Structure formats: structure tokens, C-alpha cells
Amino acid sequence: MRIAVIVTTYSRPDALAAVLEGCLAQTDRDFELLVADDGSTEQTAEVVRQFRARASFPIRHVWQEDEGFRAAAIRNRALAATAADYIVFTDGDCIPPLDFVACHRALSEPGWFLAGNRLMLTRDFTEQVLREKLPIHLWSTGDWLRACWRGQIRRVLPLIRLPNLGPLRKLAPRRWQGAKTCNLSAFRSDLLKVNGLDESYTGWGLEDSDLVIRLIRAGIYHKSARFSVPLFHLWHRENDRSKLEENRRRLEAALQATHTHAALGVDQYL
């Protein structure tokens, strides 16, 4: 099965470099990586070039003009740019552990999408990680427990690994709440079936919820990847939420509707 990891980023090259270090160290390197760039400057392009020269797998840079927060659009562009069988979405401020790709591959299943969770780093610890280039993707459980004791992370629960949950992962197949594209995967054919993300959502918030609702409505259900596929989320300032209420109204309307196909989706790039 061919896997593509899509990493969304915008003008944070130091964080992207930390994420790409984690990608280079994956135990499963049989994948391609697409940096889905929502209008960053040349600094980000240079980071991509540096890591492309080091990687044993393909790295591609998919870029669009900076016209505000358009995460749905750049994810659609990246989705259209790959022919991989399986898509793993993540963000350019979420550092993957060594087995991130391997666990998504192992848990993947036709007719289901996977939603994992994340461990949140504090502001001071994030600045230290980026300043000192700490390889936290290589840290052991003991290292993370010490970080928790020092108050450098919020919530230790995502660190717990319970890989053999079996049917328990499917206890909430229609749950859309909590599934986020910082740690979400699905078969590309299933994503195309619902026409990818809806680009009507601009500005921060809820485009990933809309995608998940439409997947479930189309018969592609939620399989939990919690306690198996965590990410280490770097602190960042709160995004501009000026369009959140508009997006919330759009999502409420989507919940009352019956459609599965995004009106403004990936088909425009295919």
C-alpha cells in the first residue's frame, strides 16, 4: 500500500524542520511526503530543499498564494498531487514519533478513517525544543514522564500505548467530534468519494469536522487511533478566529444536511 503523508504548514520553518526530522527518522519509510504550504515565503521552500536532499523517500512542495488561512484548499491541492493509496494528514507543528507512519499503516482498514491524538507542549518548552533542536521524536517514555514532572507538557494520557484494542477502536463509528486533520488518515479513494475538504471554510476552524461528518455520512466510519498514534504538538499563538462563527454556522448547516460531496472540493484540481 502506497502512503502519502501530507504536512500542512504556513511560515513557521523552524517548526517544520523539527517535524521533518521526525519524518526522516520513521521506522517505516515507504511513503512519500508532501509539504502542503499555505503561502509561506522562500524560507520554507529552502527547508523543504534541505530535507529533500537528505531523505530516502520523495518529498514534494505543494504551494499556493497567501490569501489568508486556506487549510482546506492546500490540503486538497496536495491530495490531488499524489496518487498514493492511503493519505495521512498532519500539521507542520506536530512532531511524529518514530512509529507514526507504521502505526497508521497497521491500523488502516477499508471503510474506516483513523483519528489519533496529540500531546501538547508548553510555550517555554516549545521554544527550547526549537532553539536547541531537541530530538524529542527519539525520546523514551521515561524522557516524557520527566518532562511531565517538570511541567513541560500538558496531559500525559496521549503517551499511553495500547496497540491491541481490536474491536474497541470501533466503539464510536459515527463520532465526528475530536477528529482533527493534524492526525487523521484515510484511503484516498474515500477522500475523493466525498470530494475532499470543503474550501467554503476559510479562516481557522471546523473544515476538518465538516470532512469527517461527510465521510461518516458516506459510510466511511471512525476508527480510533488513540493510545497508538500520538503526535507532539508544538505550542503556537492562537490563530485568528474572526471567521470561526461563520464556519460554525456553516458546520451547523452541514449537520442538518444530507450531502456527502464538498461543493468546493478537490475535483477542481484533478
Q: What is the pLDDT of residue 69?
A: 87
Residue 138 has pLDDT above 90, yes or no: yes
The helix-helix angle for 207-217 and 244-256 (nearest 10°) equals 10
Query: Residue 239 pLDDT more than 70?
Result: no
Range 183-202 average pLDDT: 96
Between CA 34 and CA 45, with CA 40 as vertex, the angle to 5 degrees is: 55
Confidence at residue 161, expressed as pLDDT on a 0 to 100 scale: 87
Per domain, the residue ranges of the chain are 3-269
pLDDT band, residue 162 (cuts 50/70/90): confident
How does pLDDT run across 89-124, given as a tens digit for each residue?
A: 999 999 999 999 999 999 999 999 999 999 999 999
Mean of per-residue pLDDT scores for the chain? 94
Rounded to an integer, what distance in angstroms lies between the CA atom of residue 168 and that of residue 143? 29
pLDDT value at 173 more than 70 = yes
Question: Looking at residue 202, what is its pLDDT?
Answer: 85
Is domain 3-269 in CATH 3.40.50.10800, yes or no? no
What are the tens digits of pLDDT across the range 9-42?
Answer: 999 999 999 999 999 999 999 999 999 999 999 9
